[in-house]
């Protein structure tokens, strides 16, 4: 059992939980994730470790309430427990001193996994800028947290309620047109967003890291559920990723595979709500 120490609402559908998990907090690195089970017998879901505190032995998860299990998780309060938290899983993000300027791009809840990675890049001595995007103001999360270490924080919203009106890719295009250059771009968000970012960076040869979120079942490389194709080769996101070289990822295949269980998920969600 893992105790929930703190719970915070970040917007209508996104929440943050701080969970007491001494072993994971001691070993985890940016880019890694946990497999969480809300209660005995329930399904396991992968969630990125959004932050960790080695002294207080806690990890933070930030999750969007999208279906049956995240709804069950959202029903928990500080002081309650979740039955399983397995991790840290996946490979840590490849972050090393030597790069001068990094641009992070976070779409919606993708800002959560981006946060620990950019903070670590800044700790290596790199200058770090970030573009945060969302449908509207309330979907842009962690803006103030990024401001504590990023040199520039740009915001783009579809409805123009915060920052500029448009997509994160509009801001990226503008920054590149203004002559900014980056040693690496890290894009984390919905697959179409990451695909669109790579559509801009690939022709310019800008190294671009992405974090893939295929359906994961065991999270340990055994079921094959999280298969992705990178550079023409099969990779398993839970053990070979979830971070990959975005310039080599077959995004169209990822998008097709992610929608495979949509009807079943909607059905389970209806059963869960009694609808």
Residues 66 to 85 in contact with ligand FAD, rule: CB under 6 A: 66-70
Tokens of 78: 């500080």
Say whether 31 sits in a helix, a strand or coil.
Answer: coil
Residue 247 interacting with ligand FES (CB under 6 A) = no
| Whole-number CA gyration radius for the chain | 18
Residue 216 interacting with ligand FES (CB under 6 A) = yes
For tokens 């924080």, name the residue. Answer: 153
**Of 123, 107, 109, 132, the residue nearest 48 (C-alpha):** 109
Residue 93 interacting with ligand FES (CB under 6 A) = no
How many residues bind ligand FES (CB under 6 A)? The answer is: 12
Residue 225 interacting with ligand FES (CB under 6 A) = yes
The CB-of-264 to ligand FAD minimum distance in angstroms stands at 8
Residue 63 interacting with ligand FAD (CB under 6 A) = yes
204: burial class by Cβ within 10 Å (0-12, 13-18, 19+)?
Answer: exposed
**Binding pattern to ligand FAD, positions 224-243, x when CB under 6 A?**
------------------x-
Residue 260 interacting with ligand FES (CB under 6 A) = no
Q: Which residue is nearest to Mg ion (CB)?
A: 69
Q: How far apart are CA 77 and CA 44, in angstroms?
A: 19
Tokens of 18: 């701080």
**Of 203, 209, 131, 202, the residue nearest 172 (C-alpha):** 131
Residues 22 to 41 in contact with ligand FAD, rule: CB under 6 A: 33
Residue 234 interacting with ligand FES (CB under 6 A) = no
Binding region for ligand FAD (CB under 6 A): 33, 45-48, 62-64, 66-70, 109, 112-113, 213-216, 242, 258, 262, 265, 269
């Amino acid at each position: 059992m893992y105790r929930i120490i703190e719970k915070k609402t970040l917007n209508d559908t996104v929440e943050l939980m701080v969970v007491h998990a001494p072993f994971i907090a001691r070993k985890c690195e940016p880019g890694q994730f946990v497999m969480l089970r809300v209660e005995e017998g329930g399904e396991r879901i992968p969630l990125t470790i959004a932050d960790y505190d080695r002294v207080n032995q806690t990890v933070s998860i930030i999750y969007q309430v999208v279906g049956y299990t995240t709804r069950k998780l959202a029903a928990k309060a500080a002081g309650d427990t979740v039955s399983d938290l397995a991790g840290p899983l996946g490979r840590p993000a490849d972050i090393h001193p030597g790069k001068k300027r990094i641009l992070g791009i976070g779409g919606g809840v993708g800002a959560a996994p981006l946060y620990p990675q950019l903070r670590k890049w800044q700790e290596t001595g790199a200058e770090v800028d970030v573009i945060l995007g969302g449908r509207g103001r309330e979907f842009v999360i962690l803006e103030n947290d990024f401001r504590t270490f990023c040199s520039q924080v740009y915001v783009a919203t579809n409805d123009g309620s915060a920052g500029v009106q448009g997509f994160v890719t509009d801001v990226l295009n503008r920054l590149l047109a203004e002559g900014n250059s980056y040693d690496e771009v890290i894009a984390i968000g919905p697959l179409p967003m990451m695909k669109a970012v790579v559509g801009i960076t690939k022709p310019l040869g800008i190294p671009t890291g992405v974090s893939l979120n295929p359906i994961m079942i065991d999270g340990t490389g055994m079921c094959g559920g999280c298969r992705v194709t990178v550079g023409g080769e099969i990779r398993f996101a839970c053990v070979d990723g979830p971070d990959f070289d975005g310039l080599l990822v077959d995004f169209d295949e990822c998008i097709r595979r992610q929608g495979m269980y949509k009807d079943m998920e909607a059905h389970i969600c209806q059963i869960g709500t009694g609808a």
